[in-house]
Amino acid sequence: MNAQTSRATRAGGTAELLHCASTALSFLVIRYHHMSDILLSDVFPTDAPVRPREMIGRREDVNAVAGALSDGVHTIIAGPRRIGKTSVCEAALARLRRRGVYVAAVDLFEQADAGELAASLVAAVLANRPALRRLLPGVRSATRTLATAASATVAVKARVELGDEVEMAFRPAIAERHPDRALHGALQLPQRIAHADGRRIVLFLDEFQEIASPRAPYGDPDVLTRRLRSVLQRSPDVSVLFAGSIEHIMRDLFAPSDRALSQFGSFHELAPITVTEWVEGLGARFAVLGLDADEALRRGIVALADAHPRSTMLVARGAAETARREGAATLQAHHVELGLIAALASDRLRHQQQLERIRDLRHGQRIAERIARGEPVYAGLAPKMAASAVAGLRERGIIEQGARRGSWRVVDPLFARYLARLGQPRL
C-alpha cells in the first residue's frame, strides 16, 4: 500500500469513526494518527475531573448549577468522591466563564494552612484580569508564584486598583505571620474586583469539608465560617459554589440552625446518571476505539459497577483493553468479565489502603464486610460498639446510608466486592 492509499484509508476510517462516535469524543480521533494509538485513559477517564464535552449525562445538573450561581444563589454540592461533583462544577464554571462571569476556584485539599488559602484565593481572583493573569504563571501554585520577582508588580497593581488591604496576601511572609488577617483580606477581594469591573464573580471552594477538619488547618472552624458569612453577606456580586466529599460534614456545616452557615445557600443533589445515558456514552467511547459493543454488554458493564461513575469507567476500560489485546473488533462477554477482574486488580492497592483506614476502628472491618455482603450489621455485637463502628466508617467516607431507612452500603462498588470476598473460601 502506497502512502497516498494509506492516507486515504486512514481518512476514510476517521470519517467512519467520527460518524459512529459522539461529537464530544471526536477530538480523540483527530488527535491520534490511528485508533490503536488512542490512550484508554483518555477514553475512559477515572482519576481526574472529566472535561465538559466528555461528560456522560449530568446536563441538567450543569444547567441548574450554572443558572443558580448566575442568579446569585450560593450552591452546595455534597457527595462521595469520584461521583462527578468536580466535573459538574467545572462544567458549570466553564459555561459561566463563556458568558463573561469571573470565576475563582480553590481546592482546599491543596492548601496547607490559612496563609496558603489566602494566597491561592487572591491569585485565583486576580487571574480574571488579563493584565494580572500574565504575571501569575500558575494560579494553583500561588504561594510559589507570589514569591517571584513578578510578585512586587502584582502587589503594586492590586494595591492601586483594589486597596492596600489585599497586599498582605501577595507577600507570603506577611500571610504566614498574620494568616487570619491575610485570609480576611482575601475573602473581601472577590466583591471588590466584581464591583470595580462590573462583573459577577463565582468563587468555587472544592473539598470545603476541610474547613471542619480536626486538624483545623485554617483556624477555628466556627470563627472562620462566621467570618465567611459576614464577608459574603456584604458581597452582593459574589456567588459561592461549595463542594465537599464527606456529605454528613457538609450538611452539618450548612444545616443546623446554630451553625454560622445555616441556610446559607441551597443544596443541589446530583441526579444519578441513567442507564440509558451510560449505555449511549459507553457506546460512543467504544466506537472511538473501533469496537462494536452490543447494548446488552454495555448494560452489563453498568450493572457490574452499580452505575458508579469511576467504577463503570474502570470496568469499561478493562474490557476495552482486553479486546484490544486480542485484536478483536467486537466486544464479547468474556471481555467484560475480564474487565471487571482488571478493574479490581488495578484498584487492589487502593482497596488495601482503605482497609488499613478502617482496621483501627473496633469491629470496623467486620461491619464493613457485613455491609458489603448484605448481612445483618449489628448481629452479635453490643449496640453501642456497632454504632460507633458505623459512625467511624461513615466519617471515613467508606459507607453511606442506603435506600431503606437504617440501611447502609459501601460507597465504592469495587471496594464492596473486595470486602465481600475477604475471609471467603477461594475456589
Query: In the chain, what percentage of residues exceed pLDDT 70?
Result: 81
Which of the four pLDDT bands, split at 50, 70 and 90, describes residue 158?
low
* 16 has pLDDT over 60: no
* 221 has pLDDT over 70: yes
Which of the four pLDDT bands, split at 50, 70 and 90, describes residue 4?
very low
Tell which residue, 333, 312, 308, has the closest CA to residue 411: 308
pLDDT score at 42? 87
pLDDT score at 247? 84
Encoded amino acid at 275, one letter: V
Count of alpha carbons within 13 angstroms of residue 400, beta-carbon side: 14
CB neighbour list of residue 393: distance below 8 Å, 6 or more residues apart? 358, 361, 364, 367, 368, 371, 399, 408
* 79 has pLDDT over 50: yes
Residue pLDDT, tens place only, 320-349? 999 999 999 999 999 999 999 999 999 999
- Residues 311 and 414: beta-carbon distance below 8 Å: yes
Structural element, H or E, at residue 204: strand 201-206
CB neighbour list of residue 195: distance below 8 Å, 6 or more residues apart? 237
Mean pLDDT value of segment 301-309: 95
Q: Give the residue, 256 or 28, on which the prediction is more confident.
A: 256
Instruction: Look up residue 97 and give its three cell numbers.
Output: 466563564
Mean pLDDT value of segment 104-111: 94
Q: Give the residue, 34 or 235, on which the prediction is more confident.
A: 235
* 153 has pLDDT over 80: no
- Residues 291 and 320: beta-carbon distance below 8 Å: yes
**Would you report the helix, strand and coil content of the chain in percent, each value rounded to 5?**
60, 10, 30
Residue pLDDT, tens place only, 358-390? 998 999 999 999 999 999 999 999 999 999 999
pLDDT score at 170? 60
What is residue 408's three-state secondary structure?
strand
* 281 has pLDDT over 90: yes
Beta-strand pair 408-410/201-206: unpaired
pLDDT score at 230? 95
User: pTM for this structure?
Assistant: 0.79
Mean pLDDT of the chain: 84
Rounded distance between C-alpha atoms, residue 121 and residue 190, angstroms: 9
Instruction: Look up residue 302 and give its three cell numbers.
Output: 453498568
Mean pLDDT value of segment 219-230: 93
pLDDT score at 143? 47
- Residues 65 and 268: beta-carbon distance below 8 Å: yes
pLDDT score at 263? 86
* 49 has pLDDT over 90: no
pLDDT score at 401? 85
